[in-house]
Amino acid sequence: MSSVLDLARPELRRLRPYTAGAWEPECIRLNANESPWRLPADKSERGLNIYPPPRPFALRSALARHYGVDEEELLVTRGSSEAIDVLIRGFCRAGVDGILICPPTFDMYRLYAGIQGAEVLAAPLAERDGFELDVDRAVAAAGQHTKIVFLCSPNNPTGGSFPKASIDAVCDAFAGRALVVIDEAYYEFAGTDDHLRHLKGCEHVVLLRTLSKCVALAGARCGALLASPEVIEFLDGVLPPYTFPTPSIELVLAALAQDSLRVSGERIALIKRERERLATALFDLPGVVKVYPSDANFLLVRARDAEAIAESARQANILVRLFPSEPALANCVRITVGRPRDNDRLLRAVAGVESIDEP
Ligand SMILES: Cc1ncc(COP(=O)(O)O)c(C=O)c1O
């Protein structure tokens, strides 16, 4: 019977897993060449003089509970960036296999594919009201050696979510042919459903989540890859051991406590309200052509002169993002939704940017 792992790099499936040294907290550790003393500045619970566990097991349990999946369906990664990397390394043979992306989208898919020597095919989003996923174009663009299709929903940098029916159609079309990775880095800011339902019964579907946006831990570098136990077990063997740092484990566990999640939930609600306020106010500015609908914590704005907007923001010590190497985003600027006072300051800064059509 065929398995989703038939898509994986065969040499990695044969790789002998690393055997970690024993970890028994009651024993004196003379087996790992560590220092026996903590630094005075070390306030961590576990102690930074000793290695973290080979995999952050406690964190995996907590994240699995948080996302409502089984532990066997979750791999903890250093940010979802590392999940993208490990997927491409695990499934694409250099110089042979490749990925399919739907640009304009998150640029790291292209970058990690390039690092691995994997081909990057593209099925551009169709620009109508927003940027839309064209299912037929995506299916037609894939090649014989396409191993991973990346869908980012809500999509960075365009902001919109793809309709459930389009995502379902892509998942159906690639069953048995390629992994479909749905990157849900921003789903907590969307009012739409997540795609967890795909995990049951669709072994080729993978979801990516991150703690970088919704719980304010971009600096702790924690992401989660959700997939079938088979895929997780395989990728677990590709990811090096001991890479998830102790301070990050402890911080993320604290972020998943009920009180902390309540604060994060209130902040997400505020960001969503500010997103709507900012979108309306930006749309009223003379230099703005369009504000794309957003389900994320940022807005994509098409302007008559995006550089002038970025420059005016810079004069007020505010950084926004331009996309000079993405032709579909010429004259677009991506603005992260900030605190109310930051958003006010941005609005004041760019209010004076006139339409370049005006005298
Ligand atoms: C769509 C998308 N996926 C993944 C990431 C990576 O996030 P991290 O590595 O911080 O989890 C980002 C970061 O901006 C993103 O926009």
Structure tokens at 90: 């695990």
Whether residues 159 and 227 fall in one domain: yes
Q: Which of 240, 256, 272 is the last residue of a domain?
A: 256
| Any domain includes 92 | yes
Check residues 356 and 134 and name the one with the higher pLDDT. Answer: 134
When pLDDT is cut at 50, 70 and 90, the band that residue 196 belongs to is: confident
Given this model, what pLDDT does residue 1 score?
62
> In angstroms, rounded to a whole number, what is the distance separating the alpha carbons of residues 84 and 87?
5
DSSP 169-218: HHHHHHTTT-EEEEE-TTGGG-SS--SGGGGTT-TTEEEEEESSSTTS-G
Residue 358's pLDDT band (boundaries 50, 70, 90)? very low
* 271 and 228 within one domain: no
Based on the domain organization, do 238 and 220 belong to the same domain?
A: yes
Q: What is the pLDDT of residue 229?
A: 96
Best residue for ligand 1 mutational test, from 187, 210, 294 (most atoms within 8 Å of Cβ): 210
The model's pLDDT over 12-63, given as tens digits with 9 standing for 90+, comes to 999 988 888 777 878 999 999 999 999 999 999 999 999 999 999 999 999 9
For residues 278 and 346, give the distance between their C-alpha atoms in angstroms, rounded to a whole number: 9
pLDDT tens-place string over residues 96-151: 999 999 999 999 999 999 999 999 999 999 998 889 999 999 999 999 999 999 99
Could you tell me the CA-to-CA distances from 234 to 106, 134, 172, 178 in Å, in that order?
Answer: 25, 31, 23, 16
Q: Which of 153, 155, 234 is nearest to 198 (CA)?
A: 153
Cβ of residue 218 lying under 6 Å from some atom of ligand 1:
yes
Taking only the tens place, the pLDDT of each residue in 220-262 is 999 999 999 999 999 999 999 999 999 999 999 999 999 999 9
CATH number at residue 267: 3.90.1150.10
Q: How many CB atoms lie within 10 A of CB 121?
A: 16
Burial of 210 (0-12, 13-18, 19+ CB in 10 A): buried
Q: Is residue 204 domain-shared with residue 333, that is, in the same domain?
A: no
| pLDDT, position 17 | 82
Average pLDDT, the chain: 94
pLDDT for res 359:
40
Decide which of 256, 274, 297 is a domain's last residue: 256
pLDDT of residue 23: 77
Number of structural domains found in the chain: 2
Q: Do residues 41 and 22 share a domain?
A: yes
316 and 246 assigned to the same domain: no
Considering the domain architecture, whether residues 134 and 81 belong to the same structural domain is answered as yes
Residue 354 pLDDT: 67
Per DSSP bridges, beta strands 298-303 and 223-226 are unpaired
Full domain range(s) for residue 237: 4-256
Ligand 1 contacts CB of residue 219 (under 6 A): no
Residue 46 lies in a domain: yes
Q: What atom in ligand 1 is closest to the CA of residue 152?
A: 1
φ, ψ for residue 348, nearest 5 deg: -65, -40
User: Is residue 357 one of the residues assigned to a domain?
Assistant: no
CB 341 within 8 Å of CB 311: no
In this structure, the answer to whether residues 10 and 157 fall within a common structural domain is yes
Residue-level pLDDT at 197? 75
Q: Are residues 287 and 300 in the same domain?
A: yes
- Which CATH number belongs to the domain containing residue 128 in this structure? 3.40.640.10
Residue range 288-295: average pLDDT? 96
Q: What is the pLDDT of residue 262?
A: 98
Please state the atom number of ligand 1 nearest to the C-alpha of residue 213.
10
Could you give the CA distance from residue 247 to residue 110 in angstroms, rounded to a whole number? 30
Tell me, yes or no, whether 169 and 44 share the same domain.
yes
Q: What is the mean pLDDT of residues 272-280?
A: 98
| pLDDT beyond 60 at 355 | no
Residue 16's pLDDT is what? 87
Domain boundary among 216, 241, 256: 256
Does residue 183's CB lie within 6 angstroms of at least one atom of ligand 1?
yes
Are 211 and 299 found together in one domain? no
- Model pLDDT, residue 100: 98
Residues 155 and 281 occupy one common structural domain: no
From the CB of 223, is ligand 1 less than 6 Å away? yes
